[in-house]
Amino acid sequence: LKILHLLAVFLFTDLSHSQTSKCQNRDGNGNVDWTIVYKAPGQPNGKIILATAAVSWNDGAQALSSDNGHSFATALQHVVRDNGNIKFLAYNNAPPGVANVKTKSNSKGYSTQFFQRCIHISGVIILATNADSAAWIVHTVPGFP
């Protein structure tokens, strides 16, 4: 009975530790205050700047298409998993799975008639209801959450 109790404590400790909605370091295995990830078109890996490092671009740990091992995937892992303590809002003016959506710009721009000529706006806001943590991912990938 004591072993089962100890096993339950380890399991719940691990689960509560792994639930995150904070910005992650280069490898996705530690919290940081902020992270900027940049991926140029046609390149599999991005460049990254961290709040805790010198202000310079470093190579990303993994290709951004990888499911884990980098900052972006770890920050998004509870958006795609069933987790009652994580709430998110994803927004994108290009719906997922719709090919050839035309926008005014995929990164910047201004329109006085917003609904007629849209700029590309997209991102994910992730909130943890059981902790004081959140992440806001802003990106320019059409069709991505």
In a domain, 9, yes or no: no
β partners of residue 123: 91, 138
19-68 pLDDT, tens digit each: 556 777 777 787 778 777 777 777 777 777 777 666 667 777 677 677 67
Question: How many CB atoms sit inside 10 A of residue 92's CB?
Answer: 19
Q: Which of 77, 96, 125 is the last residue of a domain?
A: 77
Residue 26 and residue 71 in one domain = yes
| CA 143 to each of CA 13, 89, 109, 129: distance values in angstroms, whole numbers, following the listed order | 36, 15, 18, 27
In a domain, 110, yes or no: yes
* Domain encompassing residue 38: 21-77
Contact indicator for 62, 70 with CB cutoff of 8 Å: yes
Residue 88 and residue 145 in one domain = yes
Residue 47 and residue 91 in one domain = no
> Rounded to 5 degrees, what are φ and ψ at 94?
-115, 110
In a domain, 12, yes or no: no
In a domain, 7, yes or no: no
Q: State how many domains the chain has.
A: 2
Q: Helix, strand or coil for residue 83?
A: coil
Residue indicated by tokens 């700029």: 119
Put simply, whether the predicted model's pTM sits higher than 0.75 gets the answer no
> Tell me, what amino acid is at 119?
I
* Dist. CA 26–CA 60, nearest whole Å: 6
Residue 26 and residue 64 in one domain = yes
Residue 90 and residue 55 in one domain = no
Residue 117 and residue 133 in one domain = yes
* Dist. CA 8–CA 66, nearest whole Å: 31
Residue 112 and residue 62 in one domain = no
Residue 90 and residue 68 in one domain = no
79-137 pLDDT, tens digit each: 777 777 888 888 877 766 666 656 555 444 444 444 445 556 788 888 888 877 778 88
